[in-house]
């Protein structure tokens, strides 16, 4: 389906006059557009004006339109020629969105929110942020971190001072004393008594989305811990909503997912991973359309390292991780994870979680892309696992773009390539609807209308070359 009718001659003349007058207007033409919502549309033109997409439509083909284009180009040929990208044989997708990360540098590597806290490491954080951009991820939501780590980076990203995907963050998460994620949480045991702590969290940390946890553990190889009472969850959820803030909740079972949904949660931070979901839960998720983060990678990455450490030699990992860290992962960390029951529990449960995600997607539920990890390659791995679950690659792209923008409550600004939206997208050399691995065939990444120069990214694997040589 075409989004808009073909450009009229008047439209294109006006467009190119405006193009000539503005240094920050440019376009990609003759590209196959995979806009995040619709089926692929061949031979399209996308015009970027400043930080936004100003026009999306079929490319010009008629000779008279060509001549007008050339006439307009003479208005300022040098500038326009530099700003025209030939997308022939290439694919444009929205920038990928990861709705569940814990940015590195705030805690133990590996994303374990229960690990002991180390001092914040800003350089590690910047390298991880660079790895997202390098892998085509233009937006992330940090679902719990040390406030003094993530919040200054969020401020710098918004000020345009660092090379980073858009950062949304909860800062500290909120939970019940002793419950899941307690170490980096604001601990609330009584709503009225502890309300001042919530007010302070809202005022000082300005969470974009509040992350809560509703998890007593007591499954897999983990002992039981205290659980937040659901009436407290409901009161906190309502309080943040009344401050204009969406919420997401860590849950891992069907029971706690239901409780979170009926306590008013806007999203869930995980799929059900403790066991197969019931048919009624699948129907409920299709009816309610509560977005949930897929987070298959976090559980799968342990046995992947234990059994197939060679993935660390893939180009995205080589660029994103220091050589010494990859060596350590292949040796010391691998041996540790091979010895842990958790690794093998999650290996058993990952196919079950995958099937839960697939069923809810098939029933019309809103799956969003989240990793619970902290690197661009991990987000790309999540795409692979979603495809491996039996979800069509085109739908996987929608999950990692438009659906993830729905999760964030930002679908009016992000998540698809459409007129008026922020210009976040990725040009690919291969068709990602044929094979989701082609989502890694990245030529360039654009955020806020700006093409990212990967030579400038402070990647842990070292400086990289530009991947796009045309246009």
Site for Zn ion, rule CB under 5 A: 143, 372
Alpha helices in 201-340 (DSSP H): 230-242, 254-262, 279-288, 296-307, 315-320, 323-328, 334-338
Cβ nearer to Zn ion, comparing 350 with 433: 350
Cβ nearer to Zn ion, comparing 249 with 389: 249
CB of 143 to Zn ion, least distance (A): 5
Cβ nearer to Zn ion, comparing 49 with 372: 372
Cβ nearer to Zn ion, comparing 139 with 441: 139
CA distance 415 to 276: 30
Cβ nearer to Zn ion, comparing 143 with 272: 143
Instruction: Return the SS3 of 270.
Output: coil
CB of 23 to Zn ion, least distance (A): 41
DSSP bridge pairs for 101: 142, 373
Cβ nearer to Zn ion, comparing 73 with 222: 222
Cβ nearer to Zn ion, comparing 102 with 166: 102
Taking Cα atoms as reference points, which of 129, 89, 96 lies closest to residue 440? 96
Q: How many CA atoms are closer than 13 Å to the CA of 312, on its beta-carbon side? A: 22
351's CB contacts (< 8 A; 6+ apart) are none
CB of 273 to Zn ion, least distance (A): 12
Quick check: 210 and 240 in contact, CB under 8 A?
yes
CB of 373 to Zn ion, least distance (A): 9
Sign of the Cα pseudo-torsion (149, 409, 251, 207, in order): positive
Cβ nearer to Zn ion, comparing 113 with 277: 113
Cβ nearer to Zn ion, comparing 106 with 461: 106
CB of 68 to Zn ion, least distance (A): 53
CA–CA distances in Å: residue 368 to residues 45, 85, 226, 406: 27, 30, 28, 8
CB of 7 to Zn ion, least distance (A): 45
Residue least distant from Zn ion (Cβ): 372
Taking Cα atoms as reference points, which of 9, 3, 91, 90 lies closest to residue 53? 3
CB of 144 to Zn ion, least distance (A): 6
CB of 307 to Zn ion, least distance (A): 24
CB of 131 to Zn ion, least distance (A): 18
CA distance 15 to 21: 10
CB of 112 to Zn ion, least distance (A): 9
Cβ nearer to Zn ion, comparing 372 with 424: 372
CB of 66 to Zn ion, least distance (A): 52
34's CB contacts (< 8 A; 6+ apart) are 40, 41, 91, 92, 93, 394, 397, 432, 433
Taking Cα atoms as reference points, which of 367, 253, 371, 370 lies closest to residue 304? 371
Q: How many CA atoms are closer than 13 Å to the CA of 254, on its beta-carbon side? A: 16
Q: Which residue has the tokens 């660079």?
A: 130
Cβ nearer to Zn ion, comparing 100 with 201: 100
Q: How many CA atoms are closer than 13 Å to the CA of 237, on its beta-carbon side? A: 23
164's CB contacts (< 8 A; 6+ apart) are 126, 129, 130, 132, 133, 153, 156, 157
Report residue 454 as tokens.
Answer: 């990967």
Cβ nearer to Zn ion, comparing 135 with 143: 143
Q: Torsions phi, psi of 100, nearest 5?
A: -150, 90
Tell how strand 25-33 and strand 41-49 pair up: antiparallel
CB of 285 to Zn ion, least distance (A): 20
């Amino acid at each position: 389906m075409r989004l808009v009718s073909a450009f009229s001659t008047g439209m294109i003349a006006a467009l190119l006059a405006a193009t000539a007058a503005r240094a920050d207007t440019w376009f990609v033409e003759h590209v196959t557009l995979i806009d995040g919502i619709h089926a692929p549309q061949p031979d399209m033109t996308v015009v970027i004006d400043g930080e936004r997409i100003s026009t999306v439509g079929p490319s010009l083909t008629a000779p008279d339109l060509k001549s007008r284009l050339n006439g307009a180009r003479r208005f300022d040929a040098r500038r326009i020629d530099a700003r025209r990208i030939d997308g022939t044989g290439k694919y444009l997708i929205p920038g990928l969105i990861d709705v569940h990360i814990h940015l590195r540098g705030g805690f133990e590597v590996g994303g374990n929110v229960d690990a002991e806290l180390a001092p914040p490491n800003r350089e590690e954080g910047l390298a991880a942020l660079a790895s997202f951009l390098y892998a085509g991820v233009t937006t992330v939501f940090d679902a719990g971190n040390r406030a003094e780590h993530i919040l200054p980076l969020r401020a710098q990203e918004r000020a345009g001072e660092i090379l980073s995907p858009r950062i949304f963050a909860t800062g500290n998460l909120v939970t019940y004393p002793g419950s899941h994620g307690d170490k980096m949480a604001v601990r609330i045991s009584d709503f009225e008594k502890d309300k001042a702590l919530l007010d302070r969290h809202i005022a000082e940390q300005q969470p974009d989305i509040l992350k809560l946890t509703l998890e007593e553990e007591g499954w897999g190889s983990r002992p039981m811990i205290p659980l937040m009472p659901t009436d407290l969850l409901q009161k906190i959820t309502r309080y943040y909503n009344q401050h204009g803030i969406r919420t997401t909740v860590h849950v891992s079972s069907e029971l706690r997912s239901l409780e979170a949904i009926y306590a008013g949660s806007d999203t869930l931070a995980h799929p059900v991973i403790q066991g197969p979901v019931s048919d009624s839960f699948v129907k409920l998720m299709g009816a309610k359309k509560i977005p949930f983060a897929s987070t298959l990678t976090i559980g799968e990455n342990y046995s992947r390292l234990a059994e197939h450490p060679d993935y660390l030699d893939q180009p995205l990992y080589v660029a994103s991780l220091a050589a010494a860290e990859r060596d350590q992962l292949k040796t010391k960390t691998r041996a540790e994870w091979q010895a842990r029951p958790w690794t093998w529990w999650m290996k058993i449960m990952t196919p079950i979680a995958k099937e839960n995600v697939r069923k809810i997607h098939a029933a019309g539920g809103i799956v969003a892309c989240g990793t619970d990890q902290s690197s661009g390659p991990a987000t790309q791995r999540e795409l692979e696992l979603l495809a491996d679950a039996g979800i069509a690659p085109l739908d996987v792209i929608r999950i990692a773009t438009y659906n993830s923008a729905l999760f964030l409550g930002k679908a009016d600004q992000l998540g698809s390539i459409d007129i008026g939206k922020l210009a976040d997208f990725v040009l690919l050399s291969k068709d990602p609807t044929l094979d989701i691995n082609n989502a890694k065939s990245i030529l360039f990444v654009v955020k806020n209308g700006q093409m990212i120069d990967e030579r400038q990214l402070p990647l842990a694997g070292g400086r990289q070359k530009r991947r796009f040589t045309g246009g």
